[in-house]
């Protein structure tokens, strides 16, 4: 009886150990499931199912998961380098209270409606510029500077908001988009040029801007001028001009001060590309009224 009792005790110990192991495995499995954003495909973006073929045999099939479209859009947004403050920018959230805002909105809307027809032509781009450039204001006497800024303000009109909304619109329709902020991008290019990596990072940045299907260039001409930067502006704009690749740009410079920042040759190319969708605007800074 003692032998039987001892054997029974061993069985009970093993059973308890097995129960704890199964609990641990279940908890691990549940934790893994909780880490998935999509339980249906476990983040593979593909779901498998069975189907009966023409010979009456059950065969394994696969199809895109319902989550894939959203994931693709998220990757495009990330690759587009959209600033975090504008991730929620949409056309329906753009304020159209002033005549300037209405003009910007309608111009962008008309451009996007005709995008399919113009994208492969020489006049396939869009530009929002200032009526009285930032450089021109800085060159005024200090006493006149503040007044000129008030009378000819080009900041806070919602140009970047519309550019980001346009980026999302185009990406949803399958176009690859890159959005760059001039000051940051040009400084990154110059810094990459100085790196000791056989210019790999420099060429990656430069070629991405040159070759992406749609380039959205925010605050063009913001970066401090240098001969090296002027050469880079021309390389990017000329390449895109010759290969019929659109540029959607905004600038707080005007038609005379912008070439002082990016070069006259680059400006000539750019204005030729955007001749049908180029407007100069000024108005109240909506950020100061919020």
pLDDT band at 290 (very low <50, low <70, confident <90, very high): low
Alpha-carbon gap, residue 78 to 251, rounded angstroms: 23
The pTM (predicted TM-score) of the whole model is 0.74
pLDDT of residue 72 exceeding 70, the answer is no
At the top level of CATH, the class of 68-289 is alpha beta
What is residue 13's predicted lDDT score, i.e. its pLDDT? 56
Structure-model confidence comparison of residues 216 and 149, the more confident one: 216
Report the phi/psi class of residue 180: left, alpha or beta, with left for phi > 0 and alpha for psi in -120 to 50. Answer: beta
* Stretch 20-24: mean pLDDT: 60
For residue 52, is pLDDT > 80?
yes
What's the pLDDT tens digit per position in 97-110?
A: 899 999 999 999 99
29-58 average pLDDT score: 77
- Tell me the percentage of the chain whose pLDDT exceeds 70: 80
pLDDT tens for each residue of 254-284:
999 999 999 999 999 999 999 999 999 988 8
Nearest to 218 by CA among 169, 271, 281, 155: 155
Q: Return the pLDDT at 51.
A: 85
57-87: string of b/e by CB count within 10 Å (b at 16+)? Answer: eeeeeeeebebbeebeeeebbeebbbeeebe
Decide if 214 contacts 164 (C-beta within 8 A).
Answer: no
Domain limits, the chain: 2-64, 68-289
Q: Which residues contact 23 (CB under 8 A, 6 or more apart)?
A: none
Q: Residue 263 to residues 130, 220, 234, 253: CA-CA distances in angstroms?
A: 17, 12, 7, 13
Averaged pLDDT for residues 25-51:
72
Average pLDDT over residues 227-249: 97
Distance, CA of 67 to CA of 151 (rounded, Å): 49
pLDDT of residue 239: 98
The band of 288, judged by pLDDT with boundaries at 50, 70 and 90, is: low
**Local confidence band at 74 (pLDDT 50, 70, 90 cut-offs):** low
Give pLDDT, residue 29: 47
1 vs 61, which has greater pLDDT?
61
pLDDT above 70: residue 79: no
> What is the model's pLDDT at position 80?
55
Q: What is the pLDDT of residues 150-204, one digit of tens each?
A: 888 788 889 999 999 999 999 889 899 999 999 999 998 999 988 888 889 999 9
Determine the average pLDDT of the residues in 226-232. 96
């Amino acid at each position: 009886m003692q032998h039987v009792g001892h054997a029974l005790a061993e069985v009970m110990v093993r059973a308890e150990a097995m129960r704890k192991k199964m609990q641990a495995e279940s908890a691990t499995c549940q934790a893994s499931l909780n880490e998935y954003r999509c339980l249906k495909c476990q983040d593979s973006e593909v779901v498998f199912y069975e189907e009966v073929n023409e010979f009456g045999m059950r065969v394994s099939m696969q199809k895109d998961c319902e989550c894939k479209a959203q994931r693709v859009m998220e990757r495009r947004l990330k690759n587009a380098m959209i600033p975090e403050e504008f991730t929620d920018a949409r056309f329906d959230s753009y304020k159209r209270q002033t005549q300037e805002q209405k003009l910007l909105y309608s111009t962008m809307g008309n451009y996007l409606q005709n995008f399919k027809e113009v994208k492969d032509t020489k006049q396939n781009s869009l530009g929002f510029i200032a009526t009285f450039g930032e450089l021109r204001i800085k060159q005024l006497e200090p006493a006149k500077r503040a007044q000129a800024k008030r009378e000819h303000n080009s900041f806070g009109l919602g140009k970047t908001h519309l550019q980001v909304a346009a980026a999302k619109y185009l990406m949803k329709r399958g176009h690859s988009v890159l959005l760059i902020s001039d000051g940051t991008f040009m400084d990154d290019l110059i810094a990459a040029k100085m790196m000791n990596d056989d210019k790999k990072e420099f060429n990656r940045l430069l070629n991405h801007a040159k070759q992406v299907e749609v380039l959205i260039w925010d605050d063009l001409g913001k970066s401090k001028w240098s001969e090296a930067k002027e050469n880079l502006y021309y390389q990017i704009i000329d390449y895109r001009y010759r290969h019929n690749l659109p540029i959607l740009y905004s600038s707080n410079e005007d038609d005379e001060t912008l070439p002082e920042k990016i070069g006259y040759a680059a400006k000539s190319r750019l204005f030729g590309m955007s001749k049908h969708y180029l407007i100069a605007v000024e108005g109240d800074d909506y950020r100061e009224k919020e």
